[in-house]
Amino acid sequence: MFSKTCEYAIRAILFIAQKSKQGVKVSIKDVAKGIDSPEFFLGKILQELSRKGIVKSLKGPTGGFYLDDESMQYSLADVVIAIDGDKIFNGCGLGLKQCSEKQPCPIHKEFKKIRSDIFKLLENSKLGEFNDLLDKRLAVLKR
Amino acid sequence: MFSKTCEYAIRAILFIAQKSKQGVKVSIKDVAKGIDSPEFFLGKILQELSRKGIVKSLKGPTGGFYLDDESMQYSLADVVIAIDGDKIFNGCGLGLKQCSEKQPCPIHKEFKKIRSDIFKLLENSKLGEFNDLLDKRLAVLKR
DNA sequence: TTAATAAAAGATATTTTTATCTTTTATTTT
DNA sequence: AAAATAAAAGATAAAAATATCTTTTATTAA
């Protein structure tokens, strides 16, 4: 569904969101441990999310990653688009470049619905939305 | 969503289904042209589908690929599973190995629905089902 | 029974994705 | 100011996916 990179990205951002709610910034190493991902690779991913403004970062001691109130309003769809692009929301299920209503692949209509469902789900999931669930350990980000 | 390999596989099998309905076997080259895919790579894919019994093949002149009545009853889900495995139907959206009801990722429930929808859609799509659509050019397999 | 055809099988190459390591820059604390 | 910390940036490596090419095997037709 998503690239591995994107899976790490989503888990990382939710981890950071949770910590930010608690008012603490987290280092790459902390996040990597928290979501069970390769540290250096995650560094690259956070770097990219930081460039795109989805996560905030500060260098130096007391530095780290965090989400401010503004960032907390981003949705999972924004994260996915930042990493994997919008292929999953707009691309053809069978890989046709010019798939459209006029020239549809055989499962165009059905997939349109699926893709739209995925988008709605992700678009409606704001980054700050999972904090309670995670705090209560009713959902996890590793293993 | 699917690997490129799987996209080619689905397009190829629907192409072969259509031709088989018309009673003709098709060569790798024909299929590659018909679905706009790299010929040798497609050869490997059809080889695999043939091993798994989803498509039938015959060597030599007058040989080629085809679907018999039995093969025509396979669904797109069978093709996807043959090539990409069942990860898309059963795997966790965030890549957690042990994601489950008991230990769910934050979007477990929502994704379960999505995955189930995808499975139903593909499971209900039998390989022979698109022949008319393709004959009438109301759906396409290339570009 | 030989030549031609087409898939199967095997080997190799290229590209993309995933992962790691090193150096630089910014910031803070001592 | 110097030392320590942590992200940014850049370089390199490994693995997986995609693509290509060659050889072998089975089958048919002349």
What mean pLDDT is predicted for residues A55-66?
A: 98
Q: Pick the residue from chain B with its C-alpha nearest to A1.
A: B1
Give CATH for domain A4-135: 1.10.10.10
Q: Say yes or no for a CB contact (<8 Å) between A141 and B7.
A: no
Please list, in sequence order, all residues whose beta carbon lies within 8 angstroms of the beta carbon of residue A79, skipping any fewer than 6 positions away: A6, A9, A10, A13, A49, A54, A127
pLDDT at B80: 98
Going from the C-alpha of B97 to that of each of A140, A142, B2, B100, the distances in angstroms are 11, 8, 19, 9
Cα–Cα distance, B52 to B82 (Å, whole number): 7
The reply to whether the CB atom of residue B3 sits less than 7 A from any atom in nucleic acid chain C is no
Q: How far apart are CA B109 and CA A139, in angstroms?
A: 11
pLDDT score for A42:
98
Question: Rounded to an integer, what distance in angstroms lies between the CA atom of residue B121 and that of residue B104?
Answer: 25
Q: If pLDDT is split at 50, 70 and 90, which confidence band does B136 have?
A: very high
Q: B132: number of CA atoms within 13 Å, CB side? A: 2
- Our measurement of CA B2 to C1' D21, in angstroms, reads 27
pLDDT recorded at residue A49: 98
In this prediction, residue B119 carries a pLDDT of: 98
d(CA A119, CA B111): 12
Q: Which CATH number fits domain B4-84+126-135: 1.10.645.10, 1.10.630.10, 3.40.50.2300, 1.10.10.10?
A: 1.10.10.10
Closest Cα of chain A to B123: distance in Å?
12
A139–B108: do the CB atoms touch at under 8 Å? yes
What is the residue-averaged pLDDT of chain B? Answer: 98
Distance (Å) from CA A83 to C1' C16?
15
Q: Is the CB of A32 under 7 A from strand D?
A: no
Distance CA B66, CA A104 (A): 24
B7 — pLDDT class (breaks 50, 70, 90):
very high
Judge: A94–B141 Cβ closer than 8 Å, yes or no.
yes
pLDDT per position as a tens digit, B9-42:
999 999 999 999 999 999 999 999 999 999 999 9
Residue A23: per-residue pLDDT: 96
Cα–Cα distance, A51 to A73 (Å, whole number): 17
Token output for A32:
């990597």
ipTM: 0.95
Q: Do A139 and B91 touch (CB under 8 A)?
A: no
Integer Cα distance of B137 and B143 in angstroms: 13
